[in-house]
DNA sequence: GTCTATACTTCGATAGAC
DNA sequence: GTCTATCGAAGTATAGAC
């Protein structure tokens, strides 16, 4: 099997610019990476970058677009969700969140998660994306899950939106703690850590609300 | 009463540099503010800045030091804490968190909270500060609170650290949502929003653990 | 599509007169 | 302690030869 370098070298230049930029942006942040540095790492002159992307911002836009597309196609089919829930809330949280997390945590996506985390404030496009796709959309999704569980008499009656926040804010906290505060430390991956701690969190929440 | 501008003009230049820098850093982030811009806003030339601070980084250091000092002296006295807790967990959470939040939310401090939020990743000093003072120290503090409540048989037995995370991660989530995602929107202040939503969160948590 | 060369801008910081 | 003047470094981006 070829190593990463030789595999990258036969890829089109535009794709190599994309990969190198993502790697550097996710490590240092957008502003801290220069076009010169990207070009050096790709192995071309900086002027050649502009044959593939209009400017530096356009590279970031391409990364965000890629991220959006990956997220959009990662949802579970409706019928799978219903089938899973019929096995009870415990199974739903254990299996459901594992499947979901695995889908959105490829090595490529890990870098983009990191980039989104560290640039959420500095870049308006990323901020809007975060608010919509990583906050509002999941909260509404979990609100619906809790409402369904209530209708199926699996859990006690609560305000489903309150439950959604109780559940999901902890996930966002883990996300922030891992990607922003502790990225330099020696975790294996976000997934291993998150799954274990989300398990404890879910146990606590379920104990409080299940019938 | 004098307006802010004339009050600022009679202050020492060093203090005016501090205030202007804090204002600008908290709005745009450290890197996005130039020494020229600070000087212009203060009303002096940029070379004069260096008579008061060694360099741009030193201004940021001064702000962080000020922030640390304010936080250190804002704790409640031990006896007050105990007295409050003896009135039951509901009172403790309602009154205790209100007093605490009020102490650390002066207009000056709001700007620093914001600055810390948006520069946590980009600046190593701020990141270490965040991890220690705004994450580990409060978590340990709340862990002790829950342990005391358990010893006083006010709440059911749980892992106190788990409870600390259940309680405090929601606060950090609100903090992040307000200072990073929604700062440009029309909230009155973090406090009004946070107190109301922390109330709901605390009600839910207490319902789950109280005896 | 890549190269060399360079324009243009902005930045942090310093020297030295007053 | 403030000013004028200026330096050197680094950044984005473009023109034009090959």
Structure confidence by residue, pLDDT tens digits, B150-164: 999 999 999 999 999
Model confidence at B128: pLDDT above 70: yes
DSSP 3-state assignment of A155? strand
Question: Which of chain A's residues 18-77 bind strand C, using a 7 Å CB cutoff?
Answer: 43-48, 51-52
Torsion angle defined by CA atoms of residues B25, B59, B56 and B49, in that order, rounded to the nearest 10 degrees? 110
* Minimum CA–C1' distance nucleotide for A44: C2
Selected residue with higher pLDDT from B146 and A95? B146
- Nucleic strand D under 7 Å from the C-beta of B10: no
pLDDT at A7: 60
Are A120 and A84 members of one domain? yes
Please report the sign of the dihedral spanned by the C-alpha atoms of residue B32, residue B38, residue B40, residue B45: negative
Please indicate whether, in this complex, the C-beta atoms of B166 and A118 are within 8 angstroms of each other: no
Using one digit for the tens of pLDDT, what is the confidence trace for B40-66? 999 999 999 999 999 999 999 999 999
Identify which of A117, A182, A204 has the shortest CB distance to residue B166: A204
Residues 6+ apart with CB under 8 A from B90: B206
Let me know if residue B63 belongs to a domain. no
Euclidean distance between CA atoms B91 and B210, whole angstroms: 13
Is the Cβ–Cβ distance between A160 and A146 less than 8 Å?
Answer: yes
pTM of the model: 0.92
- Nucleic strand C under 7 Å from the C-beta of A11: no
CA angle A160, A161, A165 (to 5 degrees): 115
Distance of residue A171 Cα from the nearest chain B Cα, in angstroms: 9
| Residues of chain A contacting B146 with CB distance shorter than 8 Å | none
| Residues of chain A contacting B182 with CB distance shorter than 8 Å | 131
| pLDDT confidence bin for B102, thresholds 50/70/90 | confident
Are B203 and B139 members of one domain? yes
| pLDDT confidence bin for A97, thresholds 50/70/90 | confident
* Minimum CA–C1' distance nucleotide for A36: D11
* Minimum CA–C1' distance nucleotide for A56: D12
Are A107 and A17 members of one domain? no
* Minimum CA–C1' distance nucleotide for A51: C1
Other C-beta atoms within 10 Å of A135: how many? 19
pLDDT at A193: 83
Strand partners, B35: none
A82-96, A117-131, B177-191: which has the minimum mean pLDDT? Answer: B177-191
pLDDT at B7: 59
Are B16 and B98 members of one domain? no
Let me know if residue B97 belongs to a domain. yes
> Nearest-CA neighbor of A165 among B166, B159, B131, B114?
B166
Residue A31 (CA) to nucleotide D14 (C1'), in angstroms, measures 21
Model confidence at B2: pLDDT above 50: no
Cα–Cα distances in angstroms (integers) from residue A70 to residues A12, A97, B81, B93, B203, in the given order: 21, 17, 50, 42, 38
Are A132 and A36 members of one domain? no
> In chain B, at which residue ranges do the beta strands (DSSP E only) sit?
none
What is the residue-averaged pLDDT of chain B? 90
Let me know if residue A113 belongs to a domain. yes
Euclidean distance between CA atoms A79 and A98, whole angstroms: 17
pLDDT at B106: 83
Let me know if residue B112 belongs to a domain. yes
DSSP 3-state assignment of B155? strand
In the block, residue with structure tokens 């309680």: B167
Selected residue with higher pLDDT from A80 and A87? A87
Are A97 and A160 members of one domain? yes
| Residues of chain B contacting A127 with CB distance shorter than 8 Å | 180-181
Which of 179-198 (A) contact B at CB < 8 A? 180-182, 197
Let me know if residue B68 belongs to a domain. no
Domain CATH for B11: 1.10.10.60
Domain CATH for A195: 1.10.357
Are A78 and A163 members of one domain? yes
Are A119 and A19 members of one domain? no
- Nucleic strand D under 7 Å from the C-beta of B73: no
Is the Cβ–Cβ distance between A33 and A24 less than 8 Å?
Answer: yes
For residue B160, the enclosing domain spans 74-209
Using one digit for the tens of pLDDT, what is the confidence trace for B23-46? 999 999 999 999 999 999 999 999
Is the Cβ–Cβ distance between A44 and A16 less than 8 Å?
Answer: no
Q: Helix H segments across chain A?
A: 4-9, 13-28, 35-42, 46-49, 56-72, 78-85, 89-91, 97-103, 107-119, 124-129, 137-151, 160-176, 190-209
Mutate to test the interface with B, among A26, A169, A178, A200 (most CBs of B within 10 A): A169
Let me know if residue A118 belongs to a domain. yes
> Nearest-CA neighbor of B105 among B114, B96, B117?
B114
Residues 6+ apart with CB under 8 A from A120: A126, A127, A130, B180, B181
Let me know if residue B197 belongs to a domain. yes
Is the Cβ–Cβ distance between A95 and A101 less than 8 Å?
Answer: no
Residue B88: left (phi > 0), alpha (psi -120 to 50), or beta? left
Domain count, chain B: 2
pLDDT at A1: 47
Tokens of A194: 């998150």
Are A81 and A19 members of one domain? no
- Report, as an integer, the average pLDDT of A94-100: 81
Let me know if residue B61 belongs to a domain. no
pLDDT at A187: 64
Which of 8-37 (A) contact B at CB < 8 A? 29, 31-32
DSSP 3-state assignment of A153? coil
> Nearest-CA neighbor of A56 among A84, A85, A32?
A32
Are B136 and B174 members of one domain? yes
Euclidean distance between CA atoms B100 and B90, whole angstroms: 15
Identify which of B135, B200, B201 has the shortest CB distance to residue A181: B135
Selected residue with higher pLDDT from B190 and A161? A161
Distance of residue B208 Cα from the nearest chain A Cα, in angstroms: 5
pLDDT at A123: 87
């Amino acid at each position: 099997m070829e190593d990463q370098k030789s595999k990258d070298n036969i890829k089109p230049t535009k794709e190599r610019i994309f990969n190198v930029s993502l790697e550097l942006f996710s490590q240092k942040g957008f502003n801290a990476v220069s076009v010169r540095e990207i070009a050096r790492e790709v192995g071309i002159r900086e002027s050649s970058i502009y044959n593939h992307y209009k400017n530096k911002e356009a590279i970031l836009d391409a990364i965000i677009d890629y991220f959006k597309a990956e997220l959009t196609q990662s949802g579970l089919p409706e019928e799978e969700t219903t089938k899973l829930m019929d096995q009870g809330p415990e199974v739903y949280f254990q299996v459901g969140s594992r499947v979901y997390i695995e889908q959105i945590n490829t090595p490529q996506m890990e870098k983009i998660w990191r980039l989104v985390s560290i640039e959420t404030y500095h870049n308006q496009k990323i901020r809007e994306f975060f608010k919509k796709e990583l906050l509002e959309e999941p909260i509404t999704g979990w609100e619906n899950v809790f409402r369904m569980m209530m209708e199926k008499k699996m859990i006690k009656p609560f305000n489903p939106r309150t439950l959604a926040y109780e559940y999901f804010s902890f996930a966002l906290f883990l996300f922030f703690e891992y990607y922003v505060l502790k990225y330099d430390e020696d975790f294996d991956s976000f997934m291993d850590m998150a799954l274990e701690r989300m398990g404890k969190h879910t146990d606590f929440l379920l104990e409080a609300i299940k019938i």
